[in-house]
Amino acid sequence: MAHGLLFFETFEIRWFNKRSELDQPIKLVVCILFLSFQRYFVSCQIQTYYVPSLVVEITALGEPIRFLLSYGNIEFEDVRFERENWPQIKPNMPFGQVPVLEVDGKKAHQSLAICRYLAKKVKLTGANEWEDLEIDSIVDTLNDFRAKIAMYHYEDDAAVKAKRKTPLFEETLPYYLERFDTIAKTNNGHFAIGKLTWADFYFVGLLSYMNFMAGKNLVEGYPNLQKLEKNVLSLPAIKAWIEKRPKTDM
Ligand SMILES: N[C@@H](CCC(=O)N[C@@H](CS)C(=O)NCC(=O)O)C(=O)O
């Protein structure tokens, strides 16, 4: 339960208060040990919601969240529902959309905010404000990229969609992907600060959904992005999640 997490955080503060006679080195060692093992103690009852598409279930915006929960060994309940039940569920969501993270009866919305919150819990953020800025910048750019593909994919007017196709596939996608590939090369197979961060989880978690919307494997021809994808998918916790998650077409 989420109480478990709060309990450990409260426990740490009270514990130090009661033992104020301890000298600094001992406190430091205890603190390091606590931080090292914290992710294994934390066990939250968390719900995520998402809307399956009309024809197939999708990983979509909830998947980076599930990657982060899995990576942190945080227990969660993956609540999925059929599209026909959405009208009843929608009014109970904070802004009528999903994914939503529910912890201890409290609901949080916006996938990026949820990812950022979880990234702090599982220690996939930067070591300082500048590093966090670097991560946030690329995450927002990845989100812009996703939105451009979605704008094409979800266009109902066939004529408008046809008009958008060439600029998207011949200009916009290569523009972004070339830059992403260079960034991944500079960062040793990652998107920021030269190591694994939640930006990598955000991209790889969304990749199958973006591939579905674009109708192609977006990282084909981009070796550094392929390496980045492999870096995430070969993590034992992510492998285990992919193995056990519901099988979907994207
Ligand atoms: N900016 C939001 C977008 C959420 C969003 O677009 N959710 C879609 C599903 S992927 C949704 O709930 N659609 C149903 C609706 O709006 O009624 C986020 O990142 O969480």
Task: Answer yes or no: is 219 within a domain.
Answer: yes
Task: Answer yes or no: is 77 within a domain.
Answer: no
| Two structure tokens written together for 143 | 């989100």
What is residue 249's predicted lDDT score, i.e. its pLDDT?
52
| Two structure tokens written together for 61 | 């915006």
Task: Answer yes or no: is 141 within a domain.
Answer: yes
Task: Answer yes or no: is 93 within a domain.
Answer: no
| Two structure tokens written together for 117 | 């919150």
Number of domain units in the chain: 2
| Two structure tokens written together for 214 | 């674009």
Q: What's the CATH code of the domain at 215?
A: 1.20.1050.10
What is residue 49's predicted lDDT score, i.e. its pLDDT?
59
Task: Answer yes or no: is 76 within a domain.
Answer: no
pLDDT, averaged in runs of 10, over the chain (250 residues) = 27 30 55 49 51 52 93 88 84 91 88 96 97 98 98 96 97 98 98 98 96 96 98 98 77
Residue 78 pairs in a beta bridge with 48
Taking each helix axis as running N to C, give the angle between helix 63-71 and helix 111-121, from 0 to 180 degrees, rounded to the nearest 10: 10
- Coil/strand/helix, residue 101: strand
Residue in 66, 85, 97 to alter for ligand 1 test, most ligand atoms within 8 A of Cβ: 97
Task: Answer yes or no: is 203 within a domain.
Answer: yes
Beta strand 46-48 pairing with 100-103: antiparallel
- Cα distance between residue 37 and residue 35, in whole Å: 6
Is the Cβ atom of 111 under 6 angstroms away from ligand 1? Answer: yes
| Two structure tokens written together for 247 | 């099988």
What is residue 66's predicted lDDT score, i.e. its pLDDT?
93
Is the Cβ atom of 60 under 6 angstroms away from ligand 1? Answer: yes
CB atoms within 10 A of CB 121: 18
| Two structure tokens written together for 64 | 């980076």
Range(s) of the domain holding residue 7: 2-41
Task: Answer yes or no: is 249 within a domain.
Answer: no
Contact 201, 207 (CB under 8 A): no
Is the Cβ atom of 51 under 6 angstroms away from ligand 1? Answer: yes
